[in-house]
Amino acid sequence: MLLSNTCIYGLRASVLLASKHGDKFVTIRELSEELNISFHFLTKVLQQLTKSEILQSYKGPNGGVKLAKKASEITFMDVVISIDGNNIMKECALGMPVCSELKPCPLHDQWTAMKGNILNMMNTVSLDQLAANRHTDTLYNSYIAHARKE
């Protein structure tokens, strides 16, 4: 919708790699099974990330892929750009006929603010943050409390 399917696969695999936080190579087979993505397709996607030097790969026995840098140094945006290119969110999703800097449509301010938020979050959130399961007891409990009500 916002990101291509392919890109989401790449993100998921990258986050999974980050969560394994080892310096060992992980086989794409293992990733594909854990993520339930076709091995062959995931291979293609990860080849792209390897080309972009986000991942490092190694062939042969004990080979596989791993992050090329520390998970804290790879942003969400790095992966997105590698796969979906850097036009993400450049054009407006609304594309109203009156659209221009001089004649913005009524949604413009809100839209550009949201766009900024999304881009900002993509640029600042790193793989390690995504890998960290941020769920807290507080949230968990409030969810349980909510679930109990029904």
Partner DNA sequence: TATAAATAAGATAAAATAGTCTTAATTCAG
Partner DNA sequence: CTGAATTAAGACTATTTTATCTTATTTATA
Task: Note the residues at the interface with DNA (CB under 7 A).
Answer: 4-6, 9, 25, 27-29, 38, 40-41, 43-44, 46-47, 50-51, 57-65
Tell me if 96 contacts ligand SF4 by CB under 6 A: yes
Largest CA distance in the chain: 60
Which two three-digit tokens encode residue 13? 């695999």
Of 9, 23, 16, nearest to 56 (Cα)? 23
State how far the alpha carbon of 103 is from the alpha carbons of 18, 85, 109, in Å: 45, 28, 12
Minimum gap (Å) between residue 50 Cβ and DNA: 4
User: Which of 81, 89, 111, 128 lies at the binding interface for ligand SF4 (CB under 6 A)?
Assistant: 111
C-alpha–C-alpha distance, residues 127 and 45, integer Å: 17
Positions that interact with a second copy (CB under 8 A): 1-3, 8, 11-12, 15-16, 35, 76, 88-89, 91, 93-98, 101-107, 110, 114, 117-118, 121, 125, 129-135, 139-140, 143
